[in-house]
Amino acid sequence: MSALFEPLTLRSLTIPNRVWMAPMCQYSAAPEGPEEGAPHDWHFQHLAARAAGGTGLILTEATAVHPDGRISPYDLGLWNDTQTAAFRRITAFLKSQGTTPGIQIAHAGRKASTERTWVNRGGPILPGQRYGWEPVGPSPLPFDEGFATPAELSVAQIHELVGQFGASARRALAAGFEVAEIHGAHGYLINQFLSPFTNRRTDAYGGSYENRTRFALEVVDAVRAEWPDELPVFFRISATDWLTEDTRDDRTGWTADDTVRFARDLQEHGIDLLDTSTGGNAPDARITAGPGYQVPFAERVKKETGLAVGAVGLITEARQAEKIIAAGQADAVLLGRELLRSPSFAQHAARELGAEVRVPQAYHRAV
């Protein structure tokens, strides 16, 4: 039997295989008007194609809990009824193909208000420019040169954001999703609070490890309160900022040791799987990338805490993915760019590994 094509049960939900689709922004939603932030035909075909291709779990792109939390004005959101209704068409189709539908809810923080990646290399849209707005963050530190300085969130605003995450989780459930993932990675708002590199606060949400993790855990509690006990909640984390020393003020970033410690906290607050990525919080971090380069971070969390983990990062081949699962390094692999290139990766992998995977009846003659 192929380990990659064994079902995985989390709480009462059984996901048919371990080939999962990582969230990938499409920058294709309407930036204004009655359909602002709502998925449409592009998003339907993008996600539906991977479901027809045998993917076990599909996570939508980072879906903002508030308009100002979008990475770009063209991102998906889940803050109103129009968006909730539009997602139902997608979740119904994914379920009809045997795929588990999941959503990643997010707030971009200081990395909000940017262009699509193919316009000006995804650079900032500054306040006052068309579709631009003032970003927010734990501290008034711009992401990079040319980016707007974010407004420092007040404690009252932090509490409001926690409620917005909970409200989006409630809408996600109404939209038909079966997995909710909280985006705490890649330098977006929750990651900004976690890391001492970006969190310079001196109140209850900054300074010590306990204070810097407070916002994240409050968000987890708010989402878990809205999510059924029988369904899982994931947390995506950047296991390291890839910083050993910030030469500007001698501050280090979030580390792998922090991640292991935090994974135990997340378990206590009802998180069922840690989707383990890295980086994104410091634009000048030195990252050495290569096939499976982030898998060791997931493996360490799994071995030291027992929490289920997903592995990501340049996983592109069936036997590579099989080895990760069979060796116990992770419970699932999440593919990004490889699923953009090959929507039917799961079917190809099953054929190569001698496993079985669901194929739509209309495609049976191609098997």
Active site (annotated) includes residue 188: yes
pLDDT, tens digit, 9 for 90 and up, residues 131-160: 999 999 999 999 999 999 999 999 999 999
The reported pTM is 0.97
Mean pLDDT of the chain: 96
Which among 27, 74, 188, 205 is annotated as catalytic? 188
**Sequence-separated (6 or more) residues with CB below 8 Å from residue 209:** 258, 261
- Confidence grade of residue 251 (pLDDT, cut at 50, 70, 90): low
The number of beta carbons lying within 10 Å of the beta carbon of residue 125 is 19
- Helix-helix angle 155-174:81-96, to 10 degrees: 40
**Residue 183: in which H helix or E strand, if any?**
strand 179-184
Predicted local distance difference test score (pLDDT) of residue 1: 86
DSSP code string of 217-270: HHHHHHHHHHS-TTS-EEEEEES--S-S-BTTTTB----HHHHHHHHHHHHHTT
**pLDDT per residue as tens digits for the range 255-311:** 999 999 999 999 999 999 999 999 999 998 888 899 999 999 999 999 999 999 999
DSSP letters of 63-81? EESSGGG-SSTTS-B-SSH
Query: Residue 245: what pLDDT?
Result: 55
Calculate the alpha carbon distances from 263 to 88, 207, 269, 273, 301 in Å. 32, 19, 10, 9, 7
